[in-house]
Structure formats: structure tokens, C-alpha cells
Amino acid sequence: MLGQKAHVDPLNYFLSFYPDMPPTFDVIKERIGYSFKNKNLLIEALTHRSAIQEVKHRIYQQTDLDMLEQIPWNEKLEFLGDSVLSLGITTWLWYKGNLTCEGDLSKARSALVQESVLVLVARQLDLGSFIILGAATEKAGGRQRISILADALEALIGAIYLDGGFEVCYFITEKLFMPYIKKHLNEEVFADHKTRLQEVIQQTYGEPPDYQVVNSHGPDHNKQFVVECRIKGKLLAQGEGKSKKKASQIAAAKALKSTQLSSL
């Protein structure tokens, strides 16, 4: 039996249990804008542990089981892709993020590599349709499971890195994440100006800044709020926004840049 199986490629043998998957590989290559030189890396990135386990349960010959031991699922590539993605986002922030404070850079990176963003990118690619899953996992909704989608995206990034190098991987990552970069920079990084201002003022003056709504105008569906930021009764800055929270954040951002802060 060993002699008969020696000529069989383990990967092709594994894929014979999932005949509908190989035709989809060209589709995912087109969506990410990259053609793999080593297609085995793509297959590994898209293979979930449950698929290997399912095939093992369906065969009994030891030589076939031995062949399957040679086929990795995507967890190792996921581990690599997590670091590559972090480096790619860090590189983008360094060159194009227009941030100079280490704290802001760290918050921006954390906001962009969090699982919720990975899932958005994965769903944009319809990545769930290309993952090789065991039947039970698929029946349980595995193609839309958040952890499976996020892990597969990281594995795919790791595979691109190994196949094409960091520069190629960086540009693909930038393309995939660009729709979410500005949104999350605006909402999750700069939205934390109040915390930064409080840290500065609390350390120096021993009390937090005070925010007061001093005006509001416009119809109920499009109301604008004006908020003043003060410390020890002295006006630092004023912000205006569609919510009290947004107006406060704008006031805090202006206060951080204000010469009034240094003159207190």
C-alpha cells in the first residue's frame, strides 16, 4: 500500500475530498489582487482545522493518515500573519498616518488590527466562501463565524508575505484596509483627545478639565452642540459637533494645541 500511495501528492489527495474548492481559488486571487507562485500557501491559508479532522475520520488506512499529517491547516500562517499585519499597519502609520505621538500611533494600530476590523475586511472579500471547512463546522455557521474569518484573513496575509515578500504584502494590506483606515483613525484614535487632555492636566494641575454645553442650534435631526473646555474656570477651547460627545472631543483636541494650556 505504501508503494501505491508514494506517487500521490498529499495536497491533491486532501483536495479530492473538497472538489468544489479548487475552482474558487482563482476568484480569491482576483479579489485580493495577487496570484500565488506557491498555490500550497494559499490552500494552507484557507484550510481550517476542522477540514483535516473531518477527512481523518473518513479514512482508515494508515498510509492515507500519514499523508494527511503532512498537510498543515492555517493556524501557523495565522500566527505569522498577525505580526505581518501589525508591521504593515505600523509602516503605513509611520509614512502616511500624520501622527507623531507614540500613544496615538499605538492606539491607531490597535484600532486597525482589532478583530472587528479584520472581519469587515474578510466579509468585503467574501472570504468565508473560500475557507475549506469540515461539514459539521460549516453546518454550525462556520463560514460566518467571527473568529474563523479573522483568523483566515491573518493566515492569508501571512501566506502573501511568504510568497511575495513584505513589500507586496504591504501594498495589498493597504488596499484591503484603506476603506477602514480613515474611519477608525477619526473615530477611535482622535476620539480619545479627552483622555489625553485629562492625563496632561491631571498630572500638572491635580484636577480634570471641565466641559460645559454653552449652546445648541439647528433642527432636532441635525442639531449642533457647542461645548467649552475649561480648567480652573479659564477657557481653553471651544468645540462644535453633532453630539455633545463629539463637540467635547473637538474642544479637547483644540485645547491640546492651545497656547492657553501652557500659560495656566
Alpha helices in the chain (DSSP H): 2-5, 10-15, 22-32, 39-46, 49-58, 62-68, 75-96, 102-113, 115-124, 135-139, 146-164, 166-184, 193-205, 244-257, 259-262
Q: Is 144 in contact with 133 (CB distance < 8 Å)?
A: no
Instruction: Tell me whether residue 167 is one of the annotated catalytic residues.
Output: no
Q: How far apart are CA 52 and CA 154, in angstroms?
A: 19
- Among candidate residues 44, 78, 82, 151, the one labeled active-site is 82
- Burial level of 239, CB count in 10 A (0-12/13-18/19+)? buried
Annotated active-site residue 154? The verdict is yes
Q: At what angle do helices 115-124 and 102-113 cross, to 10 degrees?
A: 50
Residues 54, 64, 154, 228: which is the catalytic one? 154
C-alpha dihedral sign at 227, 232, 233, 236: negative
- Catalytic residue numbers, as ranges: 82, 154
